[in-house]
Each structure stands twice: as structure tokens, then as C-alpha cells.
Amino acid sequence: MRFLLTAGPTREPIDPVRYLSNRSSGKMGYAIAQAALDAGHEVVLVSGPVALAAPEGARLEPVTTSDEMYDAIHRWVGWADVCVLCAAVADFRPVRIEAQKIKKGARETLTLELVPTRDILRSLRDLAPAPGRKRATRVVGFAAETHDLEAHARRKLTEKGCALIVANDVSRPDIGFESEDNALTLFFASGERCELARAKKSVLATELVKIFVEIAK
């Protein structure tokens, strides 16, 4: 089976030395890529900037900004049986990127005007089968939430038209971002819900790949 995965953060530049980003380490996405490879699947990994070695056997597509990630996903989505969007993509980017470094003493305050980034997950909502393929790529989204996890995840599931949303509580300091462990709640388009208790991300990834294969059959 063919897996298209995203992992890590994006960086939205403010000036030549500063950017907007988030705490995503990419560990969950890279663990899923490795688990898919271990199970004998093909993997294209679209990765934001991370301090991780690419899993051997994966085709790595390195990107930096949300626009670059959007373009990479749309280049590959027709190839994939399942598209797993695990990356923590920036929701906003600066309207203006300064050509030179903003100097601290140049102004008393600094106001950044932001606009929404393109919604990668929503852009995949109405995929048609690629030429020569019988069915469209199945899309899995991730939801990193700090509160009201189920409400936000189910809303995202409906609004984005995913087959599955994998949600986790990133308000906990012991799991999620930058941690080796995670705990996940899965919300399926069928209405089913499944809990994956706290475990190493590599262990969770193995279970997730089995589930992704089932929904993509």
C-alpha cells in the first residue's frame, strides 16, 4: 500500500532570521513512516524542519513553509492509497516578509499582520480517484488540542471530510509535543471512537498503520 505522510512543523518567515512555528518535533509522523515501512508499504514523507533522520526506504520531501507543504501534498496525493496529515501546520503567516532583519531599537512596539494559511486538510475533502485508480485516496487528519478534545476533533472530522481524525491532548506536559510517548483518541467517519492508551510513539504507530490500512482497503 502507498502511504503519503506529513510530519513536523512548518515555519512562516517574518524576516530573514525570524519565523512563526510551533513545538512539533515530528516524532509521531516519523514513527508512523517507519512503522509503514516495517509493514512493507511504500512511503513518501513530506517533512517540515526536524532534527530527525529520515526512515531508510522512505522518499523524503523536505519543506519549510505551509505553502510548500500544500504543494508537495498535491503533487503526491493521487499516487497514495492513504494520506496521513500528521504535521503541525501553521494556521497563520505574516502578510509581509521583511527583506531585512527587524532591529530591536527601530520601534517601541511591533505588530504583525497575519493571514490564514491554506487549509491542506480541507483541500483534500472532495478527492476523485486518480486516473487508472478505482478509488480516491483515504485521508486521515490529526488534531492536537488543549481543551474540548472530542468536540474539536469531531468538528474537524465533519468539516474536513476525513475518513478518520487522530486526536491528542497537547496540554499535558508528559505526552505529545517533544515527548517519546503519546495517548490518542481516534474518531471515525462512521461514528466509532477508539482509545489508544499512553505508549511509546513507535508502539502507537504500529497500531495506527494497521488501522490506516483497514480504512484504505
Q: Helix, strand or coil for residue 164?
A: strand
Round to whole Å and give the CA distance between 120 and 196: 26
Give catalytic status of residue 22 as yes or no: yes
Joined together, the cell numbers standing for residue 146 give 488543549
**Which residues lie across from 139 on neighbouring strands?**
83
* Residue of 2, 18, 22, 154 marked active site: 22
Round to whole Å and give the CA distance between 6 and 89: 9
Shortest CA distance to 162 belongs to which of 106, 123, 201?
123
Q: How far apart are the first and last CA of the chain?
A: 9
Round to whole Å and give the CA distance between 124 and 122: 5
Catalytic residue numbers?
22
